């Protein structure tokens, strides 16, 4: 008997595949490719094709269709899509896509068929699966940071104005009048095009000695965008951009405008005339964009997918930790929740003023003092504090709060140059570190026997 919900999910999966693969994405028609994957985003395309048909394979299997028939349906649908793509501008029909989509359908079938083994694992194995999933999540997040880190190829560089680059638009009707490079900054004086470009259209491209792109400052509809060289390009993943949204709305056609970008070690800024925004950058929630980057989507859509990506990275940890044995269930699940919440906090916002770091620092110091009087002695050291059902070591809070206050101090005294200002910074750091260190030493010394 066929189940209605899986059938509906199968229809939605097929509709999503057709929506994503049959839309025009350019102006040129392409011939068949017989490679498994190719192009500047070869790895990203391979991962897209291996993921795209998984929901369809899983839904059809849940609907009661036999596994071999599900795989055949996936292969037939993929062939139909690739055959149609040869008549759609900007699409690349490929035999490799058919192979990958068929494998993707089979993976969806395998997820359902093998669910009793991996999903409903016994308690002891669930604990290990939770740990492995947590490790994979951390590696994915770390890899996201590595792939999105700005790279600087060897000098010299040269600038090309309104370049024509494959897979990008051309800033037709506009003109770049002057480019002013500076120390970690770049300013462009240009004439606006008669209409906003539908595709990302570079104003300037900064190229290295091998004509590889180091930086692109572009206009995409009403937005100013910035792309820079990053390891993701060498891994043939998608290249993300930073956007100053709506910056070009105030610029009338044929008007002269100033577009600029500058950065320091932790801060990237974009500006169009008087519209300016700093603290642009990426987060670990942007990892999915390395596989598929939908340009020009509303910010709320991207934020929603970022959240779902983060949830997907950690939901397995909490699920299998809850099925585990002993205390590991509670602590592992709690650790995942705390890590997920803190990962969404922009640490820079804590350093905008001294209030938050100072409150945390004084709280940590107060808990250390409190531990000296009412703390619990364990193995001869009075280092634990009990507040109702919660037991914790105040020293851990003191470490975090001290680092935050030190970070605020160093970030806001970076202009203190010279001998005596440097001595002042060192003494200030010592004054912050000494109280919690001394109090922690008093509470953790073993009493004489």
pLDDT score for 83:
92
Please name each of the domains of the chain with its CATH number.
4-120 (no CATH), 158-281 (2.60.120), 346-444 (no CATH)
Q: What is the mean pLDDT of residues 153-165?
A: 88
- What is the pTM (predicted TM-score) of this model? 0.72
Whether 392 shows a pLDDT value over 50: the answer reads yes
pLDDT tens figures, 46-84: 999 999 999 999 999 999 999 999 999 999 999 999 999
Query: Can you name the residues that pair with 228 across neighbouring β-strands?
Result: 215
What tens digit of pLDDT does each residue of 242-274 get? 999 989 998 998 899 999 999 876 678 999 998
- Average pLDDT estimate for 309-325: 80
Q: Would you place residue 447 in the very low, low, confident or very high pLDDT band (cuts 50, 70, 90)?
A: very low
pLDDT, tens digit (0-9, with 9 covering 90-100), for 396-420: 777 777 777 777 777 777 666 667 7
Question: pLDDT band for position 334 (50/70/90)?
Answer: low
- Mean residue pLDDT across the chain: 82
Q: Is the pLDDT of residue 146 over 60?
A: yes
pLDDT for 439 beyond 80: no
Is-contact 248 219, C-beta < 8 A?
Answer: yes
pLDDT bucket at 315, cuts 50 / 70 / 90: confident
């Amino acid at each position: 008997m066929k189940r209605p919900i899986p059938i509906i999910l199968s229809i939605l999966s097929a509709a999503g595949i057709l929506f994503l693969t049959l839309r025009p994405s350019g102006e040129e028609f392409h011939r068949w490719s017989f490679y498994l994957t190719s192009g500047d985003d070869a790895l990203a395309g391979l991962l897209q094709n291996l993921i795209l048909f998984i929901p369809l394979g899983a839904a059809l299997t849940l609907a009661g269709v036999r596994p071999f028939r599900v795989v055949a349906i996936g292969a037939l649908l993929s062939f139909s899509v690739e055959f149609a793509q040869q008549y759609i501008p900007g699409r690349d029909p490929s035999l490799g896509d058919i192979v990958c989509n068929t494998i993707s359908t089979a993976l969806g079938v395998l997820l359902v068929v093998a669910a009793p083994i991996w999903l409903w694992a016994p308690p002891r194995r669930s604990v290990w699966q939770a740990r492995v999933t947590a490790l994979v999540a951390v590696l994915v997040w770390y890899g996201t940071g590595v792939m999105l880190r700005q790279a600087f190829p060897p000098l010299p560089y040269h600038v090309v104005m309104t370049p024509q680059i494959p897979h990008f638009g051309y800033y037709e009707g506009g003109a770049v009048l002057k480019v002013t490079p500076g120390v970690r900054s770049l300013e462009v004086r240009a004439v606006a095009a008669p209409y906003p470009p539908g595709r990302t259209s570079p104003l300037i491209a900064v190229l290295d000695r091998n004509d590889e792109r180091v930086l692109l400052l572009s206009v995409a509809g009403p937005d100013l965008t910035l792309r820079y060289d990053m390891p993701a390009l060498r891994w043939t993943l998608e290249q993300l951009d930073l956007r100053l949204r709506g910056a070009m709305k105030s610029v009338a056609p044929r008007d002269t405008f100033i577009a600029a970008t500058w950065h320091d070690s932790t801060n990237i800024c974009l500006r169009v005339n008087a519209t300016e925004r700093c603290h642009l950058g990426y987060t670990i929630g942007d990892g999915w964009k390395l596989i598929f980057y939908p340009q020009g989507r509303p910010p709320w859509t991207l934020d929603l997918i970022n959240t779902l990506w983060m949830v997907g990275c950690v939901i397995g940890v909490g699920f299998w930790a809850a099925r585990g044995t002993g205390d590991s269930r509670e602590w592992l699940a709690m650790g995942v929740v705390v890590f997920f919440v803190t990962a969404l906090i922009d640490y820079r916002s804590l350093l905008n003023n001294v209030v938050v770091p100072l409150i945390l620092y004084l709280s940590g110091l107060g808990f250390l003092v409190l531990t000296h009087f009412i703390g619990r002695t364990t193995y001869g050291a009075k280092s634990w504090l009990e507040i109702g059902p919660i037991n914790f070591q105040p020293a851990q809070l003191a470490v975090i709060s001290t680092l935050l206050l030190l970070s605020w101090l160093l970030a806001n005294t970076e202009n203190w140059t010279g001998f005596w200002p440097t001595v002042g910074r060192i003494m200030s750091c010592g004054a912050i570190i000494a109280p919690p260190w001394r109090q922690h030493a008093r509470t953790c010394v073993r009493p004489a026997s």
